[in-house]
Amino acid sequence: AQKITQTQPGMFVQEKEAVTLDCTYDTSDPSYGLFWYKQPSSGEMIFLIYQGSYDQQNATEGRYSLNFQKARKSANLVISASQLGDSAMYFCAMRVPRNNDMRFGAGTRLTVKP
């Protein structure tokens, strides 16, 4: 069975600082994809970044990077130069191709302080 764990219910970061949001996963499938989504208070899930299990390099998208440690089964999200607009819930998710659902973690609420 696939499982995603986010152990930080809430995180605080000072504006302009970097922050790491933790995510660990569990699967026996060798092929899988890992995703991070941002959900502001409006409710929409915004896709941030994707990492494939066979990707050799860590994914980056602007201020977002994914610290992928396959042996540890972790896929932490790093947000650099935090902005006030980054305050939101952040969800880690995993999809295994042979299944068709995507499993989400419980989320981390990030608050950026001015």
Partner 1 sequence: DTGVSQDPRHKITKRGQNVTFRCDPISEHNRLYWYRQTLGQGPEFLTYFQNEAQLEKSRLLSDRFSAERPKGSFSTLEIQRTEQGDSAMYLCASSLVRGHQETQYFGPGTRLLVL
In the complex, the smallest distance separating the C-beta of residue 108 from partner 1, rounded to whole angstroms, is 10
Residue closer to partner 1, measured from CB, 28 or 100 = 100
Instruction: Specify whether the CB–CB gap between 34 and 92 falls below 8 A.
Output: yes
Instruction: Specify whether the CB–CB gap between 93 and 37 falls below 8 A.
Output: yes
45 lines the binding site for partner 1 (CB under 8 A): yes
DSSP conformation class of 86: G
Amino acid at 104: F
Residue closer to partner 1, measured from CB, 30 or 85 = 30
Residue closer to partner 1, measured from CB, 62 or 81 = 62
Cα–Cα distances (Å) from 88 to 45, 69, 84, in that order, read 10, 25, 10
Binder among 2, 11, 24, 50 for partner 1 (CB under 8 A): 50
56 lines the binding site for partner 1 (CB under 8 A): no
